[in-house]
Amino acid sequence: MTRDAALPEPTAEVIAVQDDLVSIAPLGDAPLVKNEVIYIIPHGPERLGRPREYLKAEVLRVRGTSAEAQVFESTQGVRIGDKVIQSGEMLSAMLGPGLLSGVFDGMQTPLADVAASHGFFLPRGVLVPALDTRRKWAFTPTVASGDVVRAGDTLGTVPEGRFAHRIMVPFGFRGSFTVERVREGAFTIEEVVATLRDARGERHDLTLMQRWPVRRSIPEALTRAGQSERLYPSEPLITTIRLIDTFFPIARGGTGCIPGPFGAGKTVLQSLISRFSAVDIVIVVACGERAGEVVETITEFPSQPDPSGDGTLMDRTVLVCNTSSMPVAAREASIYTGITLGEYYRQMGFDVLLIADSTSRWAQAMRETSGRLEEIPGEEAFPAYLDSAIKGIYERAGVFRTAHGDTGSLTVMGTVSPAGGNFEEPVTQSTLGTVKTFLGLSYDRAYKRFYPAVDPLLSWSRYRPQLADWYTREAGADWGERVDEMVELLRRGDEIARMMQVTGEDGVTTEDFVTQQKALFLDMVYLQQDAFDDVDASAPLPRQKETFDLVYQVAAQEFEFADKAAVRAFFTRLTGQFRNLNYAADGSTGRAEQIASIRQTLASAPTAYRDAAQ
């Protein structure tokens, strides 16, 4: 649709075009500002009976009297002399009720709305508001006339599904404001619900919606105003994936990455993390993935129940989709849009999880843009500022005490797709220097059909000392020590397995063979999880602790087998019993029977198998 009435007159024109990079020059005295959003109006469409197009772009660099801008859509047909409208605004997200269950592109264009009005082949140059401007929301104020408020304070709430969506004083406001008027009732996001008066006596009309520049952190602005406080992450994000929660935890409000080669299971792993993690809101950013993976999320989430028991997964999810076929600039901006939406819900006091898939393609988009700007390249032609750009994204995660006294968190997990699984490439290395949990996927483990294919000898978590007190309270004082013992068992078992590849089983002692079988047993029954089983796909922490205690009992027990055949027979039987245990639901008769059977096997194992061998 056209928006001629809503946009100002052109103030600049195109002077050069190179792919989706255009150079512009002002027509008058209007200044050119870095990161300003502009709209290019190509000649032609209206002469062919089509609506006028407005190609959205962002100014990347100002040089003298001209500027270079990255266009977020195809520049086909753009020519020298085309007029340019300067919006006077930075690239911003529309924040308000109606975001949940939404599917947007990197510019926060609602893809479902565009498809409904223009078909599934999305046209360019179409301006559609991110939020429904016709829908009415029931607004209940929490302030009254005469109250004094500041940026981030809550004016009232509207119901958004099962959540109470807080309508807050715009984050960019400075100083104190007096509530002059507040209304209660059903309103659209464009109707005035409150009027504030500042210290100079000027009035400010507020609606249910506000805008915020996506490249600027929301809590950073509020912290400077004394309206937000960063806290120390002290609790883990429970993902219900045994390998992560037990061995490589990620803090609630922390950062983590999942690097791995293509086909190693990143998509399945991040899907289960987004489904079962103990969070309120999930933001999934597909910043350049293949369309099929995005479609799978869109089609499955509306039919999957929310683990909270209220509604579906889609009711608590926002998808920001920029597939590999979409323009480079939109892919680069998508992660900033997604993290801004996450910060918005965090300021309401919610626990938010943002998953970015994959940051490699986001970095590749930056590399293409940097190359077109002819900037001095860094390693592998990535921009020299790659490291700081990655740090800038992950540093926006955190736990914050909000203006209204609640605590909200934003946990950021990014997947990285290094070519050939090379973890030495720049994007992976920059990410490793930033995050505190590293879940390295192995192609060899994926080839063996291990899931998750996270290599326990390659992965690490710097949060374990930080979360030690929490695990001591919830899992026992010796939990950390036992986990360290299991990691050492895996390392020792790997060494023996490598030796056996050279010498065969005859080249190791029976004692070493038992150690190797213990490590294999731990890997098979605890580190692996069946993503397609209704029970084993998600293991709550009490279930993990119960299973881990049994596994640790096996690993810590001293066995006396007569030969390696007896060792193999025992651990094969025990592995089968534990797998059946993993498939048995909590509280079921089958689970109780499996636990009893395992305990009986452990109690009789050394004598029974030694006698059998003799």
Binding-site members for ATP are: 260-267
Summarize the annotated binding site as residue ranges: 260-267
Name the token pair of 432.
């490793």
Helix segments in 347-478, DSSP class H: 359-372, 386-394, 426-432, 443-447, 468-475
User: Looking up tokens 């889609």, which residue turns up?
Assistant: 314
Q: What angle do CA 581, 586, 589 make, to 5 degrees?
A: 75
Using alpha carbons, select from 255, 274, 280, 254 the residue that is nearest to residue 399: 254
The answer to whether the Cα torsion of 94, 97, 98, 99 is positive or negative is positive
Element (H, E) at 92: strand 92-95
How far CA 559 is from CA of 88, 440, 490, 526, in Å, comes to 74, 33, 18, 20
The answer to whether the Cα torsion of 550, 553, 555, 561 is positive or negative is negative
Burial class (CB in 10 A: 0-12, 13-18, 19+), 578: buried
Asked, as a colleague might, if the bond just before 358 is cis with ω within 30 of 0, I would say yes
Backbone angles phi, psi at 417, to 5 degrees: -120, 75
User: Looking up tokens 């807080």, which residue turns up?
Assistant: 166
Nearest-angstrom CA–CA distance, 97 and 132: 9
Backbone angles phi, psi at 241, to 5 degrees: -100, 120
User: Looking up tokens 């399945």, which residue turns up?
Assistant: 268
Nearest-angstrom CA–CA distance, 419 and 307: 35
Q: Is 415 helix (H, G, I), strand (E, B) or coil?
A: strand
Specify the DSSP class assigned to residue 560.
-
312 near 301, Cβ under 8 Å? yes
Nearest-angstrom CA–CA distance, 145 and 59: 42
Count the neighbouring beta carbons within 10 Å of the beta carbon of residue 191: 17
- Termini Cα distance of the chain: 85
Q: Is 141 helix (H, G, I), strand (E, B) or coil?
A: strand
Specify the DSSP class assigned to residue 110.
B
Residue type at position 288: G
106 near 285, Cβ under 8 Å? no
Element (H, E) at 567: helix 564-582
Element (H, E) at 259: strand 255-259
User: Looking up tokens 């059998």, which residue turns up?
Assistant: 612
Nearest-angstrom CA–CA distance, 380 and 382: 6
Count the neighbouring beta carbons within 10 Å of the beta carbon of residue 520: 17
